[in-house]
Amino acid sequence: MSVGIAPGGPHTGLGGLCEDIRGALAGWVPGMLGVHVHRSVSGLAEVARLVGAVADAAEVTVLPGDGANARAELHTAAARSSTAAAGRAATDVRVELAAVRAGCRRAAVALGLRVPVTF
C-alpha cells in the first residue's frame, strides 16, 4: 500500500478516506477498465459516482483473473459508497468508506494485481 492509501497515512478524516479510495483506483482502473480518475475528489457524492462508474465499466470489460469476484466486490463497494453519500442518520460514514476502500482492494487482488500490505 502506498503512503497515500495507508490507513495511518497522511490523509485523515472523511476527505482523506475519499482521497485514499481515489488514489487506490487511480493506480489500476484507467489502464484496465478505461475509466478516467480525476486528480482529486471533492466529497462523498463524487466518490460514489467514481466507484459506480468503475463497477459499471467492469460489467462490460473482459477481466483477467477472477473477474466475477472483482465485479461483485466493485458492485458492493459502489452500493456502500452510495450509502455513505446518502448521509442517513444511522450510517457510520467512516465505516462505509473503509469498506469501500477494502472492496476496491479485494477487486484488484481478484484481478491478479499486486496490492502491497503495510502494518
Q: What's the one-letter identity of residue 75?
A: H
Do residues 48 and 85 make contact, with C-beta atoms less than 8 angstroms apart? yes
pLDDT (tens digit, 9 = 90+) per residue, 18-37?
998 998 899 899 999 999 99
pLDDT (tens digit, 9 = 90+) per residue, 62-76?
999 999 999 999 999
pLDDT at 60 over 50: yes
Grid cell listed for 12: 485523515
Angle at CA 102, nearest 5°, toward 100 and 103?
65
CA distance 103 to 97: 10
